[in-house]
Amino acid sequence: MSLNSPIFLKQSEENNSKFVETKQSQTTSIASEDPLQNLCLASQEVLQKAQQSGRSKCLRCGGSRMFYCYTCYVPVENVPIEQIPLVKLPLKIDIIKHPNETNGKSTAIHAKLLAPEFVNIYTYPCIPEYEEKDHEVALVFPGPQSISIKDISFHLQKRIQNNVRGKNDDPDKPSFKRKRTEEQQFCDLNDSKCKGTPLKKIIFIDSTWNQTNKIFTDERLQGLLQVELKTRKTCFWRHQKGKPDTFLSTIEAIYYFLVDYHTDILKEKYRGQYDNLLFFYSFMYQLIKNAKCSGDKETAKLTH
């Protein structure tokens, strides 16, 4: 049979197609087994050594902790702070933590440890005042009023325009002066020269999903623009039963928000700039995964 015969070519195409499908299936399988495998992370050798040596002392409060102190927000004695990566963020982050949220189980601490200049954690009912800044602040929380990340700038620009119109809606001021003032203070949404990134701060709620309602319904958070992460799935080892896999842990929500913000709002190619926000998270994920596979319950306990 000629190698160029239609039958041979057809068999060759089918074999190639099956090979590609098999490779894609294998890649998908590996990614689903380890969704954090392709992160651009700093060396985690310091965490490996700390895990082997066990708990260590917090140099501030003296408490015995694993990797870091969740009350002082600093690494423990056997994790030198100079070996912990620092992440630069494009905006500020406020985390409102439920008072009943267990500090030792909160992944919000990771953000404060890795981006201390950009992250603040408040314990409810302590909430900063956002009333005069609702045009530059957004809350990440799912709901019917939530928008996608790519629409943030549009909605905040509309708030800026509405605020300016409201301030200049003075019946005693001549109409031509009101119009001139408006032109000076804000730009049309369709004017490409004026399009910017008005968002300066993003808010996250750190709580179990059953406890979030108390914080979310607080009047100090009402009226803020709501943003929802609809396409990401959690790999958190403490995922709450009965909740969809799109309900993320706090550090996952922060990380995925920033990745999407970088590409959809800043319009820049993402090159792993925020991957180190998952420095502790990815290490614990792998540690627990390995412990479960080997049946090592004691190792899994060390991460709590």
Q: What is the pLDDT of residues 63-87, one digit of tens each?
A: 999 999 999 999 999 999 999 999 9
Quick check: pTM over 0.75? Answer: yes
Q: Cα(90)–Cα(92) distance, rounded to whole angstroms? A: 7
pLDDT value at position 296?
61
Give the H/E segment covering residue 202: strand 201-206
Residue 107 is predicted with a pLDDT of 94
| Contacts with 146 (C-beta within 8 Å, 6 or more apart), sequence order | 226, 227, 228
Query: What pLDDT sits at residue 248?
Result: 87
Digit-coded pLDDT (tens) for 191-212: 433 456 789 999 999 988 778 8
Which of residues 291 and 118 earns the better pLDDT score? 118
Check residue 235 and give its pLDDT. 74
- pLDDT tops 90 at residue 171: no
Q: Is the backbone peptide bond immediately before 142 cis, with ω within 30 degrees of 0?
A: no
Comparison of pLDDT for 260 and 248, the residue scoring more: 260
- Domain boundaries of the chain, sorted by first residue: 40-84, 87-161+197-296
